[in-house]
Amino acid sequence: MGSSNILLIDSCSADFENVKNAFSEIGIKSTLYRAKNDTEAWSMLQGDNKISPIPKIVLIDINEEGINGIHLLNKMRIHPDLKSTLVFVITKTDNDLNKIAALNLNIAGYMYKPCEGENSKDFFSILNDYWNIIEFTREKR
């Protein structure tokens, strides 16, 4: 995957720092962006604050308060530049309705957030290995 962009959608600053630290420890070269909610995320994907190139991977906590993740996923799946984006739901809470809805929107995986520390490093190391062996579409700007 090299050094492409990754968007994390999570309202929790501590979780963002945890992911950022794990990326640094593992040596993930991708640029990590953060949106605190689905509105901010859409602006970064297709609005005034659009990230270029468009992130190939989106990590989202659809169960986090203030994030309408299913709505965002629906918008992404009908948008021609975003419909093939790899989306991983990474959450601390269990919500069967959201899990089913997300899986029906062709997410790449529904996983539970690791706790801080070594588990986080191992978790993102495994994801990074996966990201580096799959084929992505060409860069969209």
Would you give per-residue pLDDT tens digits along the chain (141 residues)?
556 899 999 998 988 999 999 999 999 989 999 999 999 999 999 988 999 999 999 999 988 888 889 999 999 999 999 999 999 999 888 889 999 999 999 999 999 888 765 688 889 999 989 888 887 766 544
Nearest-CA neighbor of 70 among 33, 45, 95? 95
Domain-embedded: residue 68: yes
| Stated pTM of the model | 0.90
Domain-embedded: residue 138: no
What's the CATH number where 53 sits? Answer: 3.40.50.2300
In the chain, which ranges are E strands?
Answer: 5-9, 31-35, 57-60, 86-91, 109-112
Q: Give how many domains the chain has, as a whole number.
A: 1
Domain of 37?
5-133
Domain-embedded: residue 116: yes
Exposure letters 95-106 (e unless 16+ CB within 10 A, then b): eeebbebbeebe
Domain-embedded: residue 141: no
Contact indicator for 88, 57 with CB cutoff of 8 Å: yes
Domain-embedded: residue 140: no
Domain-embedded: residue 120: yes
